[in-house]
C-alpha cells in the first residue's frame, strides 16, 4: 500500500475566494504550488486532493461545475510535470452534518479505500484546523498546516491549542520540500 500526500485545495494549492471558487476565472494558484507539485510527483507518494465544497450544497454551483474546475486544476498540475492521483470532494454544507465534510474523516477514508493507501505513512497538508482534525481522525500519520489561505489566522484561534503541536510551513512548496528532504520524519519549521 502506498503512502499519500492528502492536499486541501482552496488555501493550499489555490487561493480561497470569499464567495467560493465557482468558475475557472476564480482560480489563482499560489506561487510555487504547481512547480512544487511537479517536483514532488517524482516521489513514491500518491497525491490526493480532499476538499470541502459547500457552494454545491448551498446551490451556488453544480457538482458538474465543481468537477470541471477540479479536472482543469489536475490538467494544470500535469502540465507542470506533476500528478494528482485522486480528487475527493464533499458537496455538503456544515448543517448537513455528513461524514465526509472535514473535520470528519470520510473523504480521507474513502480515498484510502479506493486508492489502497497506507494512512499511517501518509501526510495531510491543509490550511485549517478542520483539515488537521480530519487527518488525525482518519489515522493519517502526519497532519501539517500551511500559513497560506486561512492557515495563519487558524493557528491564532484558541481551538488550535488543543491540537498542538501542529507542524507548520509557510506554503505548500516549503511543506513539500521538507517532505522530500526527509520523507519519513519531516519536522515543523
DSSP reduced 3-state for 120: helix
Catalytic position from the list 8, 127, 131, 177: 8
Active site residue 177: no
Query: Which residues, in sequence order, are CB contacts of 73 under 8 Å at separation 6+?
Result: 9, 13, 14, 27, 49, 84
* Eight-state DSSP code of residue 14: B
Burial 162-182 (b: 16+ CB within 10 A, else e): ebeebbbbebbbbbbbbbeee
One of 10, 127, 131, 177 is an active-site residue; which one?
10
Q: Verify whether residue 10 is a known catalytic residue.
A: yes
Q: Find where cell 470541471 sits.
A: 68
CA-to-CA separations, 107 to 38, 155, 181, in angstroms, rounded: 24, 23, 28
The catalytic residues are 8, 10
Amino acid at each position: 500500500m502506498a503512502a499519500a500526500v492528502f492536499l486541501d485545495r482552496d488555501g493550499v494549492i489555490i487561493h480561497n475566494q470569499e464567495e467560493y471558487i465557482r468558475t475557472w476565472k476564480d482560480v489563482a494558484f499560489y506561487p510555487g504550488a504547481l512547480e512544487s507539485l511537479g517536483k514532488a510527483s517524482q516521489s513514491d507518494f500518491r497525491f490526493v486532493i480532499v476538499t470541502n465544497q459547500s457552494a454545491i450544497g448551498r446551490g451556488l454551483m453544480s457538482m458538474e461545475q465543481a468537477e470541471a474546475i477540479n479536472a482543469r486544476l489536475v490538467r494544470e498540475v500535469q502540465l507542470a510535470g506533476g500528478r494528482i492521483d485522486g480528487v475527493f470532494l464533499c458537496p455538503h454544507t456544515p448543517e448537513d452534518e455528513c461524514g465526509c465534510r472535514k473535520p470528519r474523516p470520510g473523504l480521507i477514508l474513502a480515498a484510502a479505500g479506493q486508492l489502497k493507501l497506507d494512512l499511517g505513512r501518509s501526510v495531510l497538508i491543509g490550511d485549517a484546523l478542520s483539515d488537521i482534525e480530519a487527518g488525525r481522525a482518519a489515522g493519517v500519520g502526519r497532519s501539517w498546516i500551511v500559513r497560506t489561505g486561512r492557515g495563519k489566522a487558524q493557528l491564532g484561534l484558541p481551538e488550535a491549542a488543543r491540537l498542538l503541536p501542529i507542524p507548520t510551513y509557510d506554503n505548500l512548496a516549503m511543506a513539500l520540500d521538507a517532505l522530500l528532504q526527509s520523507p519519513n520524519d519531516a519536522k515543523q519549521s
